[in-house]
Chains A and B, each alone.
Chain A
Amino acid sequence: QVQLQESGPGLVKPSETLSLTCSVSGYSITSGYYWGWIRQPPGKGLEWVGSMYHSGSTYYNPSLKSRVTISLDTSKNQFSLRLRSVTAADTAVYYCARHSRDCSGGACYFTPFDYWGQGTLVTVSS
């Protein structure tokens, strides 16, 4: 059974860097699939942050790309999110999740997120 669990500080000061880790069990992150982050501001909808493959291929939300880095730690079967220069607008529940990329039909597209973590609330405040 694939399980994902987010961890990290629940409070970050404005202008600092938000750092979260997702621990994966039941599946090796080097065996395939993209590993991604999705966030949800309180009372609002879902926003994809970015995704990474174990080969290093990454995709980021264009609106966040300049501030985001996703990385993998294959030795710990974990992946991480770093979001720089945060503001109150970055306050959200952050989810980690798994999906894949299908290129079998010529044009590539992402498959849906099939496993999700429970989410962790990060508040940006001084």
Chain B
Amino acid sequence: SYELTQSPSVSVSPGQTARITCFADALPKKYAYWYQQKPGQAPVLVIYKDSERPSGIPARFSGSSSGTTVTLTITGVQAEDEADYYCQTADTGGTYPVIFGGGTKLTVL
């Protein structure tokens, strides 16, 4: 089966830069998306098409893609950014049309 691998946790101090990575093994990936999920809430889309931000998402959130690795970067982390972050890929191959990564817990120290 196909998998997206995320590191379980990332910890940073306020004002620092957090980088959350997602490794996609051998997938005909078209794009990656990133969601933020706070406790007891539904996920919220923060990045689409690898690096695009939906309206209303702060500019400190950015995304990038290189080969089979996609990265969510939060520059100048704030306490309110503490949450779980999930990557999702858009698979053009058809076998696994929607895949989520296992999630990364971002802790703001």
Contacts and interface: CB of A to CB of B under 8 A. Distances in A.
Contacts of A113: 35, 43, 45
A108 B96 CA distance: 12
Contact of B90 (A63, A95, A110): A110
Interface in B2-51: 28, 30-31, 33, 35, 37, 41-45, 48
Nearest to B6: A45
Main secondary structure of the interface of A (DSSP, over half): loop
B68 interface: no
Interface of A: 36, 38, 45-48, 51, 59, 61-63, 95, 97, 105, 107-114, 116-119
Nearest to A103: B92
Contacts of B30: 105, 107, 109
A45 to B, nearest CB: 4
B91 interface: yes
B94 to A, nearest CB: 8
A59 B37 CA distance: 24
B45 A112 contact: yes
B43 to A, nearest CB: 6
A61 B101 CA distance: 14
Nearest to B44: A116
Given A62-B96, A111-B90, A119-B42, 18 more contacts: A38-B100, A45-B101, A46-B35, A46-B37, A47-B100, A51-B98, A95-B42, A95-B43, A107-B28, A110-B90, A111-B48, A112-B33, A112-B45, A113-B45, A116-B42, A116-B44, A117-B42, A118-B42
